Amino acid sequence: MAQFRHGDRVGSTIDQVSSRQLDQLNDLIIQCSRCPRLREHCTQVSIDKRKAYIDHEYWGRPVPSFGDPLASIMLVGLAPGAHGANRTGRVFTGDRSGDFLFAGLHRCGFANQPESIGREDGLSLTGMWIAMAAHCAPPGNKPDASELASCREWLIQEMDLIRPRVLMALGGIAWNAVLSALTDRGIDTGRPRPKFAHGAEACFDDITLIGCYHVSQQNTFTGRLTEPMLDEILTRAGLLSG
pLDDT below 50 — which residues of the chain? 1-10
- The confidence score (pLDDT) of residue 242 equals 86
Q: Which residues of 184-215 are buried (b: 16+ CB within 10 A; e: fewer)?
A: eeeeebeeeebebebeeebebeebbbbbbbbb
Q: Is residue 1 assigned to a domain?
A: no
Whether 4 is covered by a domain: the verdict is no
pLDDT of residue 131: 99
Is the residue at 8 inside a domain?
Answer: no
Output the pLDDT for position 12: 55
pLDDT at position 205 is 86
Assessment of whether the complete model's pTM goes beyond 0.85:
yes
Contacts of residue 223, defined as CB under 8 A and 6 or more positions apart, other chains included, come to: none
In this structure, the strands spanning 201-204 and 166-170 are unpaired
State which residues form the domain around 146: 13-240
Is 7 a domain residue?
Answer: no
- Residue 222 counted as domain residue: yes
- CATH number, residue 219: 3.40.470.10
Maximum pairwise Cα distance, the chain:
51
Percent of the chain with pLDDT over 90: 91
Residue 2 lies in a domain: no
Report the pLDDT value the prediction gives residue 4, as an integer from 0 to 100: 41
In a domain, 6, yes or no: no
Number of domains in the chain: 1
Residue 62 lies in a domain: yes
Give the pLDDT score at 8: 44
- The residues with which 111 forms a beta bridge, in sequence order, are 125
